[in-house]
Structures are given as C-alpha cells and as structure tokens.
C-alpha cells in the first residue's frame, strides 16, 4: 500500500518530470537522427561530455549559462566527429558510436583529473546550477502546481523541445528533407538534395539536444559531475525513441514511462525491497518496452503481407 501512496503523491509527479528530462532530450535527439536514417548510438557519450563541460566552464565563468553553451559546443563537436567518420569515412555508424562512448567515458575522467585533480567527482569545482522556475498562476493550482511548477528551466525547455522538434520535422523545409532522406535517400538525391549534408545537420541537431540532457544532469538534476553519471540514459533514450515510433509525441510519452520507472526506483528506496532490484527497474522496463514495440512491428508487417 505504501507504493500506491508514493505513486499518488504530488512529489512523485514532480519526480517523474525531473527524471524524464534528460532522457527526453536524448530521445528527441534520437528522433531527429533516426528520421534522417542514421542511428546515433553516441548519445550516451555526448551527454556525458556535455555534463562535464557544463560543470567546468560554469565553474570558471561563474555562469551556468556559459556552462550550458560549453556543453552544447562539446555536443556539436562530438556529433561532428561522428558525422565525419560515419558519413565521409564510411565507418559503421554503430561502431563509431561505440568508439565515441568509450572515448567519452575515459576522456571525461582524463579532463576531470586535469581540471579538478579528482577521478570520481567534480566537488572541488564551484560549478553553477541552472535556475529553477516557479510558474506564475500555475503554482497556485492544487495538485497541478506542485507537479508542474518549480522545475529546472531545462525541464521546461525539454517540454518545449517536443513541440519544436515536431514543428521542425513536420512544418519546415529542413524537416521535410530530413524525413525524405531517411525514408528514401534516392528520392531525395534525384531532386538534387544533398543526402550527406542533411544527415550532417540531423546529427548535429541530435547532438545539441543530447548535450542539453547532459547539461541538465550536472547543472540541474544534481550540482556536480561524476564519472559515468549518464548511467545508460543515452541508451534508454534510443529505446524510448523506438517505442515512440520515432514521432516526437510518442517519444515524449515513452520517455515519461521511463521517467516513471526511474522515479519509482528513486522513491522505493525507503521500502524493504533490496535497492539493487529497485535500481534495475528502468532497465527492465526498457527491455520489456522494446520487446513489446518490436513484436508489434513484426505482426504489423505480417498483416500487411497477408492482405
């Protein structure tokens, strides 16, 4: 019964949004690159790098905003490397992504040590945190207020990003081209659209979104950087994108599901269930979600064939 009490509290609702934010950013990044026909496995590494640079630069400039800018720049650089190798040098995009993730997980420790003389955590750096926002009017409404008001500004940006990504993909010429390139590159090519150019843009946008997620982790969710703090969120984002059928809105709901699982894991710590099992929840939910999604795809294809 205690579980229900936890789930139906407003603080749990608040926690869901809080946990969803980084996954949602990365998942939206996955939406854009996937729509252009390239799988971005490097989201995990891009987030991690961004989380670190956000902390470092915000500590040096005493400005969380400059930290955010640095995080984004690092994300752009990482996705540029990914794009260059996979599009120009024809490295398998999955292997290139794996390589970038390995690079991030070691590289962040390297940089952290040089800057903070610590290989685990950035607590010696006085880094800044992005501000929280109280929504006027909304915060006065019972139930809704405590759930939706008072989040980190990036949480609101993430929600806004769902709409922006939707508009980009379905309302702008660039979005139309991104979708065309992903679905039928020959068709795009035959009307003179540069397929590689569009894929570059998509990967860069994808990296920018993921770096927002990374910045949130170290400058919002918590106020420090620790090694491998992304803990698989980049991969969970890929699953969320798949479950959301690649649409911004579907991906948003799938991300919420993982946010729910994560918030549950955080909140059940007080129960007498071994914490290890609770921490597994998001990953188990991901696998189950992936299986349900993939098997529904298989039966859909079967149906089409049978008709």
**Would you tell me which residues interact with other proteins (CB under 8 A)?**
41, 85, 88-92, 94-96, 98-100, 102-103, 105-107, 109-110, 113-114, 119, 167, 171-173, 176-177, 179-180, 183-184, 186-193, 231-232, 235-236, 238-239, 242, 274, 276-277, 279-280, 283-284, 286-287, 290-291, 293-295, 297-298, 304-305, 307
DSSP 3-state of 151: strand
CB 45, min distance to other proteins, A: 9
In this structure, the number of other CB atoms found within 10 A of the CB of residue 91 comes to 15
Measured over all CA atoms, what is the biggest interatomic distance in the chain, rounded to whole angstroms? 65
Would you say 13 or 22 has its CB closer to other proteins? Answer: 22
Tokens of 255: 């991300």
CB of 185 to other proteins, least distance (A): 10
Task: Specify the residue, 13 or 37, whose C-beta has the smaller distance to other proteins.
Answer: 37
Task: Report the nearest approach of other proteins to the CB of residue 204 (Å).
Answer: 18
Q: To 10 degrees, what angle do helices 195-216 and 173-183 make?
A: 110
Q: How far is the CB of 223 from other proteins (least distance, A)?
A: 22
Our CB check for other proteins shows the closer of 141 and 291 to be: 291
Here the tokens at position 240 are 């969320």
CB of 112 within 8 A of CB of 225?
Answer: yes
Q: Measured from the CB atom, is 5 or 305 closer to other proteins?
A: 305
Question: What is the C-alpha to C-alpha distance for residues 24 and 233, in angstroms, rounded to an integer?
Answer: 10
Candidates 266, 259, 281; CA nearest to 19 is 259
C-beta closer to other proteins: residue 105 or 139: 105
Q: Are 290 and 243 in contact (CB under 8 A)?
A: yes
- Distance of closest approach, residue 100 Cβ to other proteins, in angstroms: 6
Considering beta carbons, is residue 102 or 141 the nearer one to other proteins?
102
How many other C-beta atoms can be found within 10 angstroms of the C-beta atom of residue 71?
33
Separation of alpha carbons 51 and 161, rounded Å: 19
Measured distance CA(169)–CA(155) in Å, rounded:
21
From the CB of 94, what's the least distance to other proteins, in Å? 6
């Amino acid at each position: 019964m205690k579980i229900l009490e936890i789930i139906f509290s407003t603080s749990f609702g608040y926690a869901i949004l809080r946990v969803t934010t980084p996954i949602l950013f990365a998942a939206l990044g996955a939406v854009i690159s996937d729509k252009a026909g390239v799988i971005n496995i490097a989201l995990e590494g891009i987030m991690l790098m961004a989380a670190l640079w956000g902390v470092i630069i915000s500590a040096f400039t005493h400005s969380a905003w400059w930290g955010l800018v640095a995080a984004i720049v690092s994300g752009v650089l990482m996705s540029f490397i990914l794009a260059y190798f996979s599009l120009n040098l024809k490295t398998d995009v999955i292997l290139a992504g794996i390589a970038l993730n390995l690079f991030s997980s070691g590289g962040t420790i390297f940089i952290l040590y040089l800057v903070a003389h610590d290989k685990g955590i950035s607590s010696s750096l006085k880094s800044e945190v992005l501000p929280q926002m109280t929504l006027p009017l909304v915060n006065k409404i019972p139930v809704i207020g405590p759930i939706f008001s008072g989040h980190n500004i990036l949480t609101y940006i993430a929600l806004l990003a769902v709409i922006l990504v939707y508009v980009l993909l379905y309302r702008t010429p660039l979005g139309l081209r991104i979708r065309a390139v992903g679905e039928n590159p020959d068709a795009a090519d035959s009307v003179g659209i540069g397929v590689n150019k569009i894929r570059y843009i998509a990967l860069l946008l994808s990296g920018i979104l993921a770096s927002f997620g990374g910045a949130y982790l170290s400058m919002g969710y918590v106020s420090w950087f620790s090694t491998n703090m992304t803990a698989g969120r980049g991969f969970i984002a890929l699953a969320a994108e798949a479950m959301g059928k690649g649409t911004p809105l579907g991906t948003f709901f799938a991300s919420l599901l993982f946010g729910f699982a994560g918030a549950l894991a955080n909140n059940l710590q007080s129960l007498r269930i071994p914490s290890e099992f609770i921490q597994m929840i998001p990953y188990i939910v991901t696998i189950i979600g992936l299986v349900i999604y993939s098997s529904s795809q298989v039966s859909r294809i079967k149906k089409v064939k049978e008709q």
